[in-house]
Amino acid sequence: MPKVDLHCQLEGTAHRATRAKLALAHGGEAGVDVDELSGRASATAFVGAFDQFSSLLQTPADFELLVYEATRDAVAAGITYREMLFSPGYHLQRGVAFADLWDGLSAGIDAGEADFGVTTRLILDIDATRSVPLVLALLQLIRNTDRQTLAGIGGEASGFVEEDGALRRVVDDANAIGLNTCFHAGYDAAPAQIASLVDAGVDRIGHGARLLESREVAVRVIERDIPVVSCPSSDVAMGVVGELSAHPFREQLRRGVHVTLSSDCPALSGLDLADEYALVGETLGKIDASVDDVIVAGIDAAWLDDSQKRSMREELASFRRRESMDATAKAGS
Ligand SMILES: [Zn+2]
């Protein structure tokens, strides 16, 4: 069924074969296998693997290949629209020019849309391990990029929330140049960090697995209808939640949080968005919710205008109509 993916880390989509190909071209290691990480990776191991993948990306053609392949994978998972997080901080510090990275990504996105019909937009990870002045300088660098391609900024916010007013300044600066914001309350971010994101005026919250630990913070998120972009398998792989059945996604949905389902790092977790829906979908009946409720929550949280969202909802409805007509025809034959 057609669906959207609002939190997918570009560098976390690289297949082992692609990594091996890039390692051969540039020297270096293809990185650990998915099996070595999946289900029991510590955050440090996860970030280390991610760093290793990132180091293999050097030329515009590398970025083009990666996003093109990710788009092909998106089709297989039934994704029609995706907002992908990419992390220039990792690449710029290794000497990759922003223009090369941007040109490669733009070319891959265009080719992917032409060949597979999937729309991809980017979210720039501002990398909160940097200082605020550096981040503001990065915002200057992207000031004139195409807003159809670059939809917003995001990433881990823990480095900023500790500094008074810093995240608010970054959010305001991004908004001023037409960019949306989705920051992580990832790893084991406590509700206090989620509250800081709300205070800073972010448009969406990434992960947010611990939101319900504070009734007060949960109420604020619900009342402001701030979408929470949940990535259950990634949370399990990172060790934030012990196992998928214990993940709070379903409970967040039941309590009225605008929670959506995304894939995060499919090549690392070994699960794509279709797998996520299959796993979560099995248990939704227990809370009187359906898979379509979750898909529509994702569409509503996407950084698209109302008419684009309407046509995506219609696409889902017509998919369901075709599906039920097929089932009727099958039963009658
Ligand atoms: Zn994430």
Report pLDDT digits (tens) over 73-97: 999 999 999 999 998 888 888 889 9
* pLDDT at position 179 over 70: yes
Residue 81: helix, strand or coil by DSSP?
Answer: strand
Please tell me the least confidently modeled range out of 125-139, 143-157, 212-226.
125-139
Angle at 253 between CA 247 and CA 255, to 5 degrees: 105
Ligand 1 center from residue 93 Cα (angstroms): 21
Q: Which DSSP letter does residue 243 get?
A: S
Output the pLDDT for position 209: 94
Element (H, E) at 136: helix 132-141
User: What φ, ψ does residue 293 adopt, rounded to 5°?
Assistant: -60, -40
What letter would DSSP give residue 244?
G
User: Side by side, which strands form the sheet with 3-9?
Assistant: 3-9, 79-86, 119-125, 150-156, 180-185, 204-207, 228-230, 259-261
Higher pLDDT, 289 or 109: 109
Å from CA of 49 to ligand 1 middle: 14
How many Å lie between the centroid of ligand 1 and the Cα of residue 189? 12
Cα–Cα distance, 158 to 79 (Å, whole number): 30
Ligand 1 mean position to 323 CA, how many Å? 33
User: Is domain 3-321 in CATH 1.10.3720.10, yes or no?
Assistant: no
- Mean per-residue pLDDT, 258-264: 95
Q: How far is the CA of 284 from the centre of ligand 1 (A)?
A: 23
**Ligand 1 mean position to 9 CA, how many Å?**
7
Closest CA to 156 of 121, 188, 191: 188
Q: In the chain, where are the structural domains located? A: 3-321
Residue 31: what pLDDT? 63
Q: What band does 37 get if pLDDT is binned at 50, 70 and 90?
A: low
pLDDT score, position 182: 96
pLDDT: is 141 or 30 the higher one?
141
Is 60 exceeded by the pLDDT of residue 271?
yes
**For residue 97, is it left (φ>0), alpha (ψ between -120 and 50) or beta?**
beta
Kindly tell me if the per-residue pLDDT of 207 is higher than 80: yes
Going by pLDDT thresholds of 50, 70 and 90, the confidence category of residue 309 is very high
For the stretch 238-250, pLDDT in tens is 788 888 888 999 9
Instruction: Tell me how far the alpha carbon of residue 116 lies from the centroid of ligand 1, in angstroms.
Output: 25
CB 61 within 8 A of CB 96: no
Strands (E) in the chain, as ranges, are 3-9, 79-86, 119-125, 150-156, 180-185, 204-207, 228-230, 259-261
Q: Which of 76, 9, 77 is nearest to 49 (CA)?
A: 9
Whole-number average pLDDT of the chain:
88
Give the mean pLDDT of 158-184: 87
CA distance 49 to 31: 7
**Tokens of residue 18, six digits:** 């692609």
Higher pLDDT, 67 or 48: 67
Q: H-helix or E-strand containing 206?
A: strand 204-207
Structure-block tokens of residue 232? 């259950």
Q: How far apart are the CA of 184 and the centre of ligand 1, in A?
A: 6
What pLDDT shows up at residue 41?
A: 55
Q: What is the pLDDT of residue 133?
A: 77
- Binned at pLDDT 50, 70 and 90, residue 289 comes out as confident
pLDDT band at 153 (very low <50, low <70, confident <90, very high): very high
**For position 79, what pLDDT does the model report?**
97
Angle at 301 between CA 42 and CA 288, to 5 degrees: 85
Give, as one character, the DSSP assignment of residue 79. Answer: E
Query: Could you give the CA distance from residue 306 to residue 9 in angstroms, rounded to a whole number?
Result: 25
